[in-house]
Chains A and B, each alone.
Chain A
Amino acid sequence: MSQTDTGVGRVDHRPAPGRAHPGPAAAGPPPYWTSRRRDQLTGYLFIAPQMVGSAVFVILPLILVVWYSLHEWNVLAGTFEFVGTDNYAALAEDTSLPSVLTATGLFSVGLVAFNLGLALLLAVLLNQRLRGTTLFRTLFFSPVVVSLVAWTIVWGFLLQDDGGINGLLDTVGVAGPNWLRGEGTAMVSVIVVQVFKNVGLNMVLFLAALQGVPAELYEAAEVDGASRARQFWRITVPLISPTILLTSIITVVGSLQVFAQIAVLTQGGPGTSTTVLVYYLYQQAFQFHHFGYGATLSIVLFAIVLGLTVLQWQMRKRWVHHES
Chain B
Amino acid sequence: MSRELSPRAKLLLYGALLVLAVPFVFPTWWMVTSSLKPVADIFAFPPQLLPTNPRLEAYQRVFELQPFGRQYLNSLYIALVVTVGTLAVSALAGYAFARIRFRGQNVLFLVVLAGLLVPSEVTIVPLFQMFFAAGLIDTHWPLILVPILGAPSVLATFIMRQFFIALPGELEEAARVDGLGRFATFWRIALPLARPALGAVAIFTFLHSWNLYLEPIVFLSTPERFTLPQALTQFVDAYGGPMWNVQLAAASMTALPVLVVFVIAQKQFVEGLAHTGLKG
Contact = CB atoms under 8 A, between A and B. Distances in A.
Direct contact of A and B (CB under 8 A): yes
Interface of A: 14-19, 38-40, 42-44, 46-47, 49-54, 56-62, 64-65, 68, 122, 124-130, 132, 134, 136-151, 153-155, 157-158, 160, 162-164, 167-168, 170-171, 192, 196, 200-201, 204-205, 207-210, 212-213, 215, 218, 236, 240, 242-243, 245-247, 250, 253, 256-257, 259-260, 278, 281-282, 285, 291, 294-295, 298, 301-302, 305-306, 309, 320, 324
Given A42-B100, A164-B30, A61 B130 contact: yes
B56 interface: no
12 contacts: A46-B93, A46-B186, A49-B149, A141-B269, A143-B24, A146-B28, A157-B34, A157-B42, A168-B47, A242-B280, A253-B117, A257-B119
Which among B14, B129, B279 has the greatest number of chain A C-beta atoms within 10 A?
B279
B102 A44 contact: yes
Contacts of A302: 117-118, 122
A130 B95 contact: no
A129 B5 CA distance: 7
B77 to A, nearest CB: 16
B17 interface: yes
A39 B279 CA distance: 30
Given A207-B274, A208-B275, A259-B214, A43 B96 contact: yes
B45 interface: yes
Contact residues of A: prevailing secondary structure: helix
Given A57-B146, A143-B28, A150-B31, A136 B182 contact: no
Given A146-B259, A150-B254, A208-B275, A218 B1 contact: yes
Contacts of B13: 125, 128, 130
B279 A141 contact: no
Nearest to B213: A260
Contacts of B239: none
A77 to B, nearest CB: 17
A164 B102 contact: no
Interface in B14-66: 14, 16-17, 20-21, 23-28, 30-31, 34, 42-43, 45-47
A295 B275 CA distance: 38
Given A158-B27, A281-B121, 12 more contacts: A53-B153, A54-B115, A62-B114, A127-B1, A128-B13, A129-B5, A130-B10, A147-B254, A153-B248, A164-B47, A246-B279, A294-B125
Nearest to B150: A57
Interface of B: 1-5, 10, 13-14, 16-17, 20-21, 23-28, 30-31, 34, 42-43, 45-47, 88-90, 92-93, 95-97, 100-103, 105, 108, 111-112, 114-123, 125-127, 129-130, 145-146, 148-151, 153-155, 157, 166, 181-184, 186-187, 207, 210-211, 213-214, 228-229, 232-233, 244, 247-248, 251-252, 254-255, 258-259, 261-263, 266-267, 269-271, 273-276, 278-280
A171 B46 contact: yes
A256 B114 contact: no
A47 B96 contact: yes
A58 B24 CA distance: 35
Contact of A153 (B154, B182, B214, B251): B251
A146 B127 contact: no
Contact of A54 (B14, B111, B278): B111
A46 B161 CA distance: 12
A27 B118 CA distance: 50
Contacts of A44: 102
* Nearest 3 Cβ contacts at the A-B interface: A53-B149, A242-B280, A57-B150
Contact of B117 (A126, A242, A306): A306
B229 A149 contact: yes
Nearest to A279: B121
A124 B150 contact: no
Contact of B100 (A14, A39, A124): A39
A138 B267 CA distance: 9
Given A142-B25, A154-B30, A39 B47 contact: no
Contact of B2 (A15, A158, A215): A215
A276 B136 CA distance: 31
Contacts of A162: 43, 45
A247 B28 contact: no
A107 to B, nearest CB: 14
A162 B46 CA distance: 9
A140 B23 CA distance: 9
B278 A243 contact: yes
Nearest to A37: B102
A207 B272 CA distance: 12
Contacts of A64: 123, 125-126, 129
